[in-house]
Each structure stands twice: as C-alpha cells, then as structure tokens.
Amino acid sequence: MKTAVENKVFEKGTIDGYTVVAIDGTKLFGSNKKSCSECLKINKGEMIHSFHSGAVMSTVGIGPKLVIGFEMYKPGQDSISKDEGELSLGKRLVSSVVKDHRKLTDVVVYDALACNSI
C-alpha cells in the first residue's frame, strides 16, 4: 500500500474521483472434528462446527484492486456466549485502516448487515 500511495496510483480515485473501498466477510475454513481457541463455533444438532472467518477491505472501481485491510472475527467478544459480530468487526477494520492509511479512502461500502451503525 505504501508503494501504491507513493506512486500516486489512486490520485484520480477509483470511482468518479473518489477512492472507494469495500468491506466483505468470508469464511476461510472450518471443521466438524478439529478446533482451536480462536475458532468460532456453531451448534448443528449434536455436532459442533468450528471455523475461522474474517473481513477484507479492498479498493473497488478503476485501477488495481488492492487489499488494504484484513481482520479476523474473534470468538466470545460480544458476550460470554456469543462470537464477535459483523458490526464490531467492521468498526475495528475501519479504525485500523484509517489509522494506517489516513488519507487513502474517501468512501467505504459494505453489505446490508453492517450498514445500520458503522
């Protein structure tokens, strides 16, 4: 990202003069047999499905599509029994990117689940 900024890759923006980035979550991998302390868990009847998920922030529009931020969901963050939610993760990701790349982004877009209060 530092090289892209130094080379003024996004000087004219990515969409209508603005540098636009998108946040989207994804499941990375999961297992019904193995787990670790960082796994998120879903009860499926008698079986517990363990998995890792994260969210990525990347540029969209004209020009290169660069990933500028990534955060993993954390287990047990919202309450004792619940894993971290999409809103918490989105806020943490935006804060991290703004801290690292303050003047890079103009517009952040994300899906409908996260749009209520970021």
Domain coordinates in residue numbering, the chain: 2-109
Distance of CA 16 to the CA centre of its chain: 24
Specify the residue for token string 């000087």: 11
Q: What percent of the chain has pLDDT over 70?
A: 86
Give SS3 for 86.
Answer: helix
pLDDT at position 1 is 76
- The 10s digit of each residue's pLDDT in 76-112 is 655 455 666 777 888 889 999 989 887 888 999 887 6
- The 10s digit of each residue's pLDDT in 36-86 is 888 888 888 888 888 898 889 999 999 889 999 999 988 865 545 566 677
Judge whether 32 and 47 are in contact, CB under 8 Å.
Answer: yes
Judge whether 88 and 77 are in contact, CB under 8 Å.
Answer: yes
For residue 116, name the pLDDT band (cuts at 50, 70, 90). Answer: very low
pLDDT at position 103 is 81
pTM for the model stands at 0.75
38's tokens: 């960082």
Residue 5 pLDDT more than 60?
yes
- Residue 110: how many other CB atoms lie within 10 Å: 19
50's tokens: 């363990």
